[in-house]
Amino acid sequence: MEVNNAPKIGPVLQKERKERHLTLDRLAALSGVSRSMLSQIERGEANPTFAVLWSLTQALGIDFSQLIAGGITHQRKAEAIELVTLALTPEIKSPDGAWRLRILSSPALAGRVEWYEVEIAPGSKLQSAPHAPGTFEHLTAYTDGLLVETELGRQELLTGETARYRADIGHEITNGGTETARALMVVLYDQEA
């Protein structure tokens, strides 16, 4: 007798992702799970490991137990203080080591407001395709040498200065200095242009 009562997690993950207005690419970046694996999980074509499911629930801000139960019935109970250790802080790195983004914002806020610690190697740049309409970025320089360029203009930044610019058009951040440049980037979605 074969018993297969495995939970149908694919549709639940897809529903939670779409409710947060996240693309597969965005959830992949937040969770560290590849886009192709996410797509396979959502279609029920993959049997993800515990570690993969854990990464996805953390990125979506949902309880693992509720995912396994087949649906999200409650939001995660807020802790008095939630601590994310350095080892558990997700990162996005360029393949060539030119830049690194540490994701500091809560996964539950993805697609609404996000903030990142940005590091760009000397002489390197972080190029971005246009984000969703109405998206803005705020970049506060922790070091000198950064240059923000969009289709509408360019602005050099000194330590402590903040550039605010449309991110629903092509844009890039360049480090023209000789040391690694650092900044805080806040991304705001669905803002009035």
Q: Please say whether the dihedral angle defined by the alpha carbons of residues 105, 181, 100 and 126, taken in this order, is positive or negative.
A: positive
- Domain total in the chain: 2
Q: Check whether 16 has a pLDDT greater than 90.
A: no
In this structure, of 55-59, 94-98, 189-193, the range with the lowest mean pLDDT score is 189-193
Of 124 and 15, the one with more pLDDT = 124
Q: Is the domain of 139 the same as that of 163?
A: yes
pLDDT at 186: 96
The token pair at 18 is 């779409």
Name the domain boundary from 24, 42, 71.
71
∠ CA 63-135-120 to the nearest 5 degrees? 85
Please report whether residue 40 resides in a domain. Answer: yes
Tell me if 26 is assigned to some domain: yes
CATH number, domain of 175, equals 2.60.120.10
Q: Is residue 16 part of a domain?
A: yes
Q: Tell which wins on pLDDT, 87 or 117.
A: 117
Helix/strand/coil for 33: coil
Same domain, 60 and 95: no
Do 164 and 126 fall into the same domain? yes
Q: What is the CATH number of the domain that holds 42?
A: 1.10.260.40
The model scores a pTM over 0.85:
no
Least confident of 49-63, 73-87, 145-159: 73-87
Domain range for 20 is 10-71
* Mean pLDDT, the chain, integer: 85
Helix axes 50-60, 35-42, angle to 10 degrees: 90
Query: How many Å apart are CA 116 and CA 118, to the nearest integer?
Result: 6
Q: What is the pLDDT of residue 2?
A: 44
Q: What is the pLDDT of residue 107?
A: 77
Q: Are 138 and 163 in contact (CB under 8 A)?
A: yes
